[in-house]
Amino acid sequence: MSHDQPSQVGDSLSANAVSRLLPLGLSQPAGPVAALIERLALADGADWLAHTLAGGAFRDAGTSAAACAGGTATVAELRAVKESAKRAMGRSETHQEMLSATLAYFLSIGAALAHHNELLTSQPREQVDQALVDLADVLPDPWSGLLERAALITD
């Protein structure tokens, strides 16, 4: 998402949604999401992202990142990506593997929320929304818009 142009999503936010999301955007990310944001900001971040989206948890689950972003992946397929990402986090041997798995985890959760209104995690919703907002700020479209929409989904 570009900081130069207003968000199309933001043009239609209700006061309730703004009240809920504003504190999320003002706080600083922590932990794996902060490390992921730093990785994406490196000079080769776009190449790293493309490589991550072509493999890892997406490949292991048999679901393409394009299907996740485009809304054609089913809830079951998105859940499979999320579970594959969780397994990859547990067995990752390098920092890069952990970051790739973390990205797949949050993209699958965001896609399930944005496209199917399904929350695939038992993590506190506020923490999930925080991660989605933070990642939306550094990822290119279609992921940026998808994660913004996901963070706006209410129970």
The full set of domain ranges for the chain reads: 33-152
- Number of residues written out for the chain: 155
pLDDT score, position 76: 98
Q: Which two tokens stand for residue 9?
A: 């999503």
Q: How many whole angstroms separate alpha carbon 42 and alpha carbon 54?
A: 19
Higher pLDDT, 96 or 15: 96
Q: Which two tokens stand for residue 138?
A: 């550094």
pLDDT score, position 26: 46
Query: What are the pLDDT digits (tens) for 117-135?
Result: 999 999 999 999 999 999 9
Query: What are the pLDDT digits (tens) for 61-98?
Result: 999 999 999 999 999 999 999 999 999 999 999 999 99
For the segment 32-60, the average pLDDT, to the nearest whole number, is: 95
pLDDT score, position 10: 45
Phi-psi category of residue 108: left, alpha or beta, with phi > 0 → left and psi -120 to 50 → alpha: alpha
User: Model's pTM, two decimal places?
Assistant: 0.81
For the segment 7-12, the average pLDDT, to the nearest whole number, is: 46
Mean pLDDT in the chain? 86
Burial class of residue 35 (count of CB atoms within 10 Å of its CB; 0-12, 13-18, 19+)? middle
Q: Which helix (H) or strand (E) holds 37?
A: helix 31-41
For the segment 106-125, the average pLDDT, to the nearest whole number, is: 97
